[in-house]
Amino acid sequence: MADPAELYEEPAERADDPDAHHRLVQELSGAASDQDASYARELLLEMHPADIADLIEQLAWEQQDQLARLAPDLFTGDVLAELAVDTRGDVVDALDPVHIAEALADLDSDDMTLVVEELDDEKRAAVLAAVSAEDRQYLERSLAFEEETAGRLMQREFVAAPQFWTVGDTIDHMRMAGEDLPDLFFEVFVIDEGFKPIGAVPVSKLMRSQRAVPLSEIMDPTKIIIRPEDDQEDAAYLFEKYHLISAPVVDDDGRLAGMLTVDDIVDVIQEENKEDMLALAGVNDAGQSDTVFSSVKARAPWLLVNLGTAVFASAIIALFDEAITQLVALAVLMPIVASMGGNAGTQSLAVAVRSIASRDLTMSNSMRVIWRELAAGAVNGVIFAIVMGIVAGLWFQDWALGGVIAISMVITLACAGLAGILVPLGLRRMGADPAVASSVFVTTVTDVVGFFVFLGLGALVLL
């Protein structure tokens, strides 16, 4: 048992000491480069798997590879399960299939899936051949589900009890079952004679109740049932909304087949949030791309699309080249209108994407929200029309020019607000992810409107 006094001084996991962490990474990195397996083992001795995984993630790709070849025993099942998905993919490449199969034996079924789904086909076959027949059958069934579905996330270890059991029956059963139960569980699922989940009893409630009470009396009736083919994002939404700790997953016949638990859902939520944020910024890959090549690959496609739209916006400018030659102030000021439009559009877009993700933006309030975005854009347009009108008027000593930029600002910012909400709503209606690509569409709208209105009005009024 740890000395509590010591824990109070400075619990290792809380110690926010970036220097110590940095030194540890340096030492581990040195051990990998020097091929010093025993020093690497010593460094990671008695650490929590999550901390070991954390340190390994900090190494460069080559060193992760070296370490996996040098000291595969460090990569226990728990450490593999804790690694970030990209690192896990790299590390399992370097590990022997037999080692991977052994590491899997310690894991709950959902964590086994996490590891195996990162293997390439050949290695996956070798690992599947080396695990127990039971695990193999489970893994094959799990991998048959699409990625990012509840089927991939679910755990087949769960505790179920028939509805006619009492609290006492259930407790006795659990004391007997021992090893076959999951390490941790929070609810006992109550099933009917067809193995269908009809309710759940939180373990804390079970523990508080008298032995003679039938489960059916104290259970909460099952309202949320997850199907293996459900998107993990939908499952996460249900957990979040109803504050679930675990939820039953049923097969095609409605029979209890597994459960989802909140700790896996926390990871899903983080993953989905990351995807949304990167998608909005035009980065494809959800993983943290660690190499220059993967970074370029994740970003070039959207830069190419952006180039296309930027050239299109330039073609608008080219329509007014005569006007610009006569009044160069138009060229000086036009990026301000476009920049403000782009910014206002991005603000509106981020609010919309977030509201869609949290399911706050629905059919019932979308008209109201569209109207609000248009109005907010127009109001900001008026505010900055006044400011920029004065700045431009003073700068170029030309109040007509100030008037032109002011009017353009109002029109562009109102369009920006509208585009920021209509583009993601439109993408959603077409069944696409509202975060992906929407910022390119929005800034195309704001650039085109901004340049066209400002230069067009300028040519009309000032020349």
Site residues for its own copies, 80-139, by CB under 8 A, read 84
Q: Which of 39, 138, 145, 186 binds its own copies (CB under 8 A)?
A: 186
Q: Does 242 bind its own copies (CB under 8 A)?
A: yes
How near is the Cβ of 254 to its own copies at its closest, in Å?
A: 5
Region 163-182 residues binding its own copies, contact defined as CB under 8 A = 171, 174-175, 177-178, 181-182
Are 279 and 349 spatial neighbours (Cβ–Cβ below 8 Å)?
A: no
Identified binder of its own copies from the candidate list 115, 280, 401, 427, rule CB under 8 A: 280
User: Considering only 34-42, 64-72, 135-143, 329-337, which stretch makes contact with its own copies by CB under 8 A?
Assistant: 329-337
- Shortest distance (Å) from residue 400 CB to its own copies: 18
Tell whether residue 146 is a contact of its own copies (CB under 8 A). no
CB 345 within 8 A of CB 374: no
15, 35, 106, 208: residue in contact with its own copies (rule CB under 8 A)? 208
At closest approach, how far in Å is the CB of 98 from its own copies? Answer: 28
Binding range to its own copies, per CB under 8 A, among 69-77, 90-98, 137-145, 307-315: 307-315
Q: How far is the CB of 37 from its own copies (least distance, A)?
A: 21
Q: How many CB atoms lie within 10 A of CB 165?
A: 18
φ and ψ at residue 190, rounded to 5 degrees: -100, 130
Q: Is 429 in the site for its own copies (CB under 8 A)?
A: no
* Residue selected from 99, 274, 398, 457 as contacting its own copies according to rule CB under 8 A: 274
Among 321, 399, 432, 463, binds its own copies (CB under 8 A): 321
The interface with its own copies within residues 347-386 (CB under 8 A) comprises: 347, 349-351, 353-355, 358, 360, 362-365, 368, 372-373, 375-376, 379-380, 383-384
Residue 139 Cβ vs its own copies, minimum distance, rounded to whole Å:
21
Contact map string, positions 384 to 403, toward its own copies, x by CB under 8 A: x--xx--x------------
